[in-house]
Amino acid sequence: MWVPGAEGRQALAVAMAAAATLAVAMAARRWRRRPVREVLFFPSPPSCTEALLAEAAGTGAPAQPCPCPLPSSDCPLSRLLRRLLSARRSLDICLFAFSCPQLGLAVRLLHRRGVRVRVVTDAQYMGLRGSQIGLLRQAGIQVRHDQGQGYMHHKFAIVDRRMLITGSLNWTTQAIQSNRENVLVVEDAEYAKLYLDEFERIWEEYNPTNYKFVSQGQ
Amino acid sequence: MWVPGAEGRQALAVAMAAAATLAVAMAARRWRRRPVREVLFFPSPPSCTEALLAEAAGTGAPAQPCPCPLPSSDCPLSRLLRRLLSARRSLDICLFAFSCPQLGLAVRLLHRRGVRVRVVTDAQYMGLRGSQIGLLRQAGIQVRHDQGQGYMHHKFAIVDRRMLITGSLNWTTQAIQSNRENVLVVEDAEYAKLYLDEFERIWEEYNPTNYKFVSQGQ
């Protein structure tokens, strides 16, 4: 058996100190806040989001609880709202259909809070009854749309250029309350960049200066 | 300066051997096949998938190249086809609309190859002209559908219980060639399990033994 002398012990101490430093660094890396990874499945049961939105508006909890009979429990819609309301700097939305009032309110709240909100949507759907697009524009939010060749059928959003929210869900009450839908939430630099690049391509292509006003028959 | 003697050198050699082993293990981990992470953006340019599907059918490359004028270059559709055709054991599909002939052919090929294929779809869409659902059923593939409350609006597939394919894309030629769409492909045990669990829930709920044949007016 090899028994180290004084020098051997000194060398081993050096090696052990290095190993300890490495172990601490690896543990710190492991315990860093875990990136968001979540999947939301719909339909979401009808629920009251008044308290959640009041809190986000900075008006504090309402003095009286909402008198509506709906529960304000945790559900896929409230989770989606929380993810969106976590935005601090930017929210880029690329959405075929947007008519859900609660999600519309959340987006306008973020705009009022100074978050840079941009919305891309589908030209054919945005004028339908119940669409939130008019309200977003009235609030001063920039919205751009396609020019009608095929559908702008994406359903994704990117929060603070780092968290991707994507799936099958259009932001409509019908889809949220009645359909089988999925939304994948992932805080991942690689995926966020790919979707942001797509957003920027579409944003530029749908720049109003590129619109062609061609009358029918031409 | 500390200069190690014979024992010190021996101890350092032990420490260095351990460090080398650790480095090799870490490098091996890094160089293990990287899980698939891909995003496909549509529209996909019209393209010829004959050679790709012939190869997958095991009939080898055709003696004559396809006479059609379309290029058979790499494109989002061919990439999606390749991901699906990589299935060896199972393919679980949960899809609102399925009318793309090339994707229908790929799914039937997999079924013929012995891959266990299951399809969940939307009742209202599956009977429309061009739907692939009838052809899949004729080929002996199990298909289940909802009973018409809300839409079965998912658009995901799971390959071999490990690779998730999800996004905004319905498998229709219109969507593939004309729409702005995204498909996220991720080989990730956590996400695959969440979507598989949703698939199994729907598969059981849509079991034909649960269908209610209620006549109008009842």
Residue range of the domain that includes B176: 34-44+73-210
Cα–Cα distance for residue pair B5/B20, rounded to 1 Å: 22
Mean pLDDT computed over every residue of chain B: 90
Mean pLDDT calculated for residue range A143-162: 94
Cα–Cα distance for residue pair B56/B87, rounded to 1 Å: 11
For residue A145, indicate whether it is catalytic.
no
Mean pLDDT calculated for residue range A190-206: 97
- Residue A15 pLDDT exceeds 90: no
Q: Is the peptide bond before A43 cis (omega within 30 degrees of 0)?
A: yes
pLDDT digits (tens, 9 = 90+) for B79-104: 999 999 999 999 999 999 999 999 99
Q: Do A4 and B11 touch (CB under 8 A)?
A: yes
Q: Do A150 and B41 touch (CB under 8 A)?
A: no
Helical packing angle, A50-57 and A101-112, nearest 10°? 10
**Hey, what amino acid is at A87?**
A
Q: What is the reported pLDDT for B187?
A: 97
Q: What is the reported pLDDT for B215?
A: 59
**Hey, what amino acid is at A203?**
W
* A157 is a domain residue: yes
Name the one residue in this structure whose structure tokens are 């009977």: B127
Mean pLDDT calculated for residue range A103-117: 98
CA distance B120 to chain A (A): 11
b/e map A175-205, b = 16+ CB within 10 Å: bbbbbbbbbbbbbbeebbebbbebbeebbee
Mean pLDDT calculated for residue range A172-194: 97
Total tally of structural domains belonging to chain A: 1
* B11 is a domain residue: no
Number of other residues whose CB lies within 10 A of the CB of residue A107: 27
Torsion sign, CA atoms B134, B136, B140, B144: negative
Evaluate whether A152 touches A146 at the Cβ level (below 8 Å): yes
**How far is CA B78 from each of CA B9, B24, B49, B88, B214, rounded to the nearest angstrom?**
59, 37, 7, 18, 43
pLDDT digits (tens, 9 = 90+) for B174-197: 999 999 999 999 999 999 999 999
For residue A212, indicate whether it is catalytic.
no
- Residue B217 pLDDT exceeds 70: no
What residues in A contact B43, CB-CB < 8 Å?
150
The closest of B119, B113, B55 to B81, measured between CA atoms, is B55
Beta strands in A83-178 (DSSP E): 90-95, 116-121, 142-145, 155-159, 163-167
Q: What is the reported pLDDT for A157?
A: 98
Q: What is the reported pLDDT for A150?
A: 93
Q: Taking CA atoms, what residue in A is nearest to B194?
A: A39
Tokens (6 digits) for B181: 């769409």
What residues in A contact B155, CB-CB < 8 Å?
168
The closest of A89, A103, A206, A97 to A159, measured between CA atoms, is A89
For residue B153, indicate whether it is catalytic.
yes
* B49 is a domain residue: no
Mean pLDDT calculated for residue range A30-54: 90
Torsion sign, CA atoms B188, B194, B199, B200: positive
Mean pLDDT calculated for residue range A14-25: 78
* B84 is a domain residue: yes
- As to burial, measured by CB atoms within 10 angstroms (0-12 exposed, 13-18 middle, 19+ buried), residue A25 is exposed
CA distance A111 to chain B (A): 26
**Which one of A153, A170, A198 makes the best mutation probe of the B interface by having the most chain B beta carbons within 10 Å?**
A153
What residues in A contact B172, CB-CB < 8 Å?
none
Q: Is the peptide bond before B43 cis (omega within 30 degrees of 0)?
A: yes
* A94 is a domain residue: yes
Confidence label for A218 from pLDDT (cuts 50, 70 and 90): very low
Q: Highest mean pLDDT range out of A6-10, A55-59, B63-67, B93-97?
A: B93-97
Q: What is the reported pLDDT for B14?
A: 80
Q: What is the reported pLDDT for A216?
A: 52
User: Which is catalytic among the residues B153, B154, B188, B212?
Assistant: B153
Q: What is the reported pLDDT for A94?
A: 98
Mean pLDDT computed over every residue of chain A: 90
Radius of gyration of chain B (CA): 24
SS3 A93: strand
Evaluate whether A88 touches A67 at the Cβ level (below 8 Å): no
Q: What is the reported pLDDT for A20?
A: 80
* A40 is a domain residue: yes
Confidence label for A14 from pLDDT (cuts 50, 70 and 90): confident
Number of other residues whose CB lies within 10 A of the CB of residue A155: 25
Mean pLDDT calculated for residue range A166-192: 97
- Residue A1 pLDDT exceeds 70: no
* B215 is a domain residue: no
Cα–Cα distance for residue pair A128/A132, rounded to 1 Å: 9
Mean pLDDT calculated for residue range A173-201: 97
Mean pLDDT calculated for residue range A130-157: 95
- Residue B39 pLDDT exceeds 80: yes
Q: Which of the residue ranges B24-28, B106-110, B182-186 would you say has the lowest mean pLDDT?
A: B24-28
Residues 6+ apart with CB under 8 A from B130: B99, B172
Q: Kind of pairing, strands B142-145 and B116-121?
A: parallel
Q: Do B195 and A182 touch (CB under 8 A)?
A: yes
Q: Which of the residue ranges A89-93, A118-122, B60-64, B181-185 would you say has the lowest mean pLDDT?
A: B60-64
Q: Taking CA atoms, what residue in B is nearest to A194?
A: B39
* A177 is a domain residue: yes
CA distance A25 to chain B (A): 15
The domain that holds A94 is classified in CATH as 3.30.870.10
SS3 B64: coil
What residues in B contact A174, CB-CB < 8 Å?
150
Q: What is the reported pLDDT for A215?
A: 59
Number of other residues whose CB lies within 10 A of the CB of residue B147: 13
**Hey, what amino acid is at B145?**
H
More confident residue, B108 or A8: B108
Cα–Cα distance for residue pair A201/B199, rounded to 1 Å: 34
